[in-house]
């Protein structure tokens, strides 16, 4: 099991896209700054989607520009297509990710493209990245969404996920990540899927899991991922988030609970948990009445808590 992991905060994108209210730009900046100062080294700050579809993301360009001024922070954005990639590159993101749904029905619902069309789009984006001057090429990752099941189609073939992961790599991406968009995954499935995908594309090309806690298995699935060498886990402060195009898919892993578990186990995250817990105040003030989740924030840290010896 790895001795250190990267926690990628996805709340400013995945969390806020599922909230009806639009968080003010100033509050987003305060949130991102506070998390960076708490030691979070990677934050997905927004998505370059048309504001008509997700008005919550209309200020992503401004947010990226601000986040780029924060020292030591890798700035990530989600992109839906080539046009979004062009905007993300122009904004100067360090990393961009495109969701590639393993459920073709969900893909059509989410981005209006079937699998062949998505692979063509991914290749066009990879070619665009390769055409950028050296040192200005963002890390381009494909998130294999609905990889563990779909609220529209139901079960998704694991062989199909492996085949599409291989096709995405062949299109020129840097790596793929596995996304439990709908909260269907269980630990045995995570173990099986990670092994199968790594066996097809190489162990160094799958490093990230995006897990939901919809049915209470989020942290258990993290443990399965850790055992298979996964080194980056997406999480959302206060558990904000879900997919607006996957009915019932609520509940990102709570960043605070994930950090507590890892630090208690002696796995280094680089995050100051006391500082992280205070960031919730920014969200609560900016989104009054919005439910925030997490056992660690509610219970507090145990008396004498310190990171366990590795």
Structure confidence at residue 309 (pLDDT): 52
pLDDT digits (tens), the chain, 310 positions: 789 999 999 999 999 998 889 999 999 999 999 999 999 999 999 999 999 989 999 999 999 999 999 999 999 999 999 999 999 999 999 999 999 999 999 999 888 899 999 999 999 999 999 999 998 999 999 999 999 999 889 999 999 999 999 999 999 999 999 999 888 999 999 999 999 999 999 999 999 999 999 889 999 999 999 999 999 999 999 999 865 444 444 689 999 999 999 999 999 999 999 999 999 999 999 999 998 999 999 999 999 887 655 4
Helix, strand counts (H, E) of the chain: 11, 8
Structure confidence at residue 98 (pLDDT): 97
Range 155-160, long-range pairs (CB < 8 A, 24+ positions):
156/102, 156/103, 158/192, 158/193, 158/196, 160/102
Please report, for the chain, the start and end positions of each structural domain, with discontinuous segments joined by +.
Answer: 6-299
Q: Are 44 and 78 in contact (CB under 8 A)?
A: yes
Q: Is 177 left (phi over 0), alpha (psi -120 to 50) or beta?
A: beta
CA neighbor of 302 nearest in space, from 265, 260, 244: 260
Number of residues in the chain: 310
Is CATH 3.30.460.80 correct for 6-299? Answer: no
CA neighbor of 138 nearest in space, from 189, 95, 106: 95
Structure confidence at residue 310 (pLDDT): 42
Which pTM was predicted?
0.95
| Ranges assigned E (strand) in 88-229 | 95-101, 139-145, 175-179, 206-210
Give Cα separations from 35 to 9, 121, 239, 250 (angstroms).
Answer: 9, 33, 15, 23
- Cα–Cα dist 94/41, whole Å: 12
- Cα–Cα dist 248/250, whole Å: 6
Structure confidence at residue 250 (pLDDT): 60
Catalytic: 243?
Answer: yes
Which H/E stretch holds residue 6?
Answer: strand 6-9
Given the residues 43, 243, 271, 283, select the one marked as catalytic: 243
- Cα–Cα dist 178/16, whole Å: 21
Q: Which 8-state DSSP code applies to residue 308?
A: P
Instruction: Give the pair of three-digit tokens for residue 171.
Output: 């299109």
What is the number of alpha carbons within 13 Å of residue 102 lying toward its C-beta? 31
- Cα–Cα dist 301/149, whole Å: 35
């Amino acid at each position: 099991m790895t001795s250190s992991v990267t926690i990628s905060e996805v709340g400013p994108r995945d969390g806020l896209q599922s909230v009806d209210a639009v968080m003010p730009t100033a509050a987003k900046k305060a949130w991102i700054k506070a998390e960076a100062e708490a030691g979070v080294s990677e934050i997905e700050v927004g998505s370059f989607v048309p504001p008509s579809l997700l008005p919550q993301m209309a200020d992503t360009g401004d947010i990226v520009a601000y986040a780029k001024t924060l020292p030591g922070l890798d700035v990530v954005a989600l992109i839906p297509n080539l046009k979004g990639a062009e905007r993300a590159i122009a904004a100067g993101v360090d990393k961009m990710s495109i969701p590639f749904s393993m459920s073709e029905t969900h893909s059509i619902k989410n981005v209006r493209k079937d699998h062949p069309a998505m692979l063509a789009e991914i290749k066009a984006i990879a070619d665009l990245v390769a055409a950028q001057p050296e040192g200005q090429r963002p890390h381009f990752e494909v998130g294999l969404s609905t990889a563990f099941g779909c609220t529209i189609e139901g079960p998704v073939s694991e062989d199909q996920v492996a085949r599409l992961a291989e096709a995405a790599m062949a299109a020129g991406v840097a790596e793929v990540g596995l996304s439990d968009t709908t909260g269907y995954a269980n630990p045995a499935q995570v173990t099986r899927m990670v092994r199968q995908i790594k066996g097809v594309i190489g162990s160094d090309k799958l490093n990230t899991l995006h897990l939901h806690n919809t049915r209470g298995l989020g942290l258990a699935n993290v443990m399965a991922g850790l055992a298979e060498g996964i080194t980056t886990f997406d999480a959302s402060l206060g558990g904000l988030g879900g997919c607006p195009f996957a009915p019932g898919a609520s509940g990102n892993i709570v960043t605070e609970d994930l950090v507590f578990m890892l630090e208690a186990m002696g796995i280094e995250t680089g995050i100051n948990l006391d500082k992280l817990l205070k960031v919730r105040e920014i969200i609560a003030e900016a989104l009054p009445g919005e439910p925030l989740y997490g056992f660690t924030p509610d219970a507090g840290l145990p008396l004498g808590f310190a990171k366990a010896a590795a």
